[in-house]
Structure 1
């Protein structure tokens, strides 16, 4: 009986190995996709921050102009 179990394991081992290799390849691929998306998100966040700073400076400039006009 033990020999039968060993034969079954030996028979299925190459399939297990293939499945594990496939899983590792998929994890690697998706990890690269996550890293690329993270870089894009960082770049987008930086652009949003810069835009918000520009809007803030513009509003401050308008407010300063309004104060000068009222004086």
Structure 2
């Protein structure tokens, strides 16, 4: 479980760096984006590529980028 949280944090951090919104989210939000994005990415893109802690890295990062982009779209600053 702890290993999944750590890998989820790195996936969320990578997604935040790709979308340029990771710094404004915070560590907890990066972990949640990584864990939720991993689930979304593996559902959409399958489980191919290298894997750590039961998460396929490439689909997980792609899913986390989608999650970060959608969340930042809805919670972004209006103005």
Q: TM-score under structure 2 normalisation?
A: 0.28
The structure where strand makes up a greater share of residues is: 2
Structure with bigger RCO (C-alpha 8 Å, 6+ apart): 2
The structure with the largest alpha-carbon Rg is 1
The structure where helix makes up a greater share of residues is: 1
Q: TM-score under structure 1 normalisation?
A: 0.31
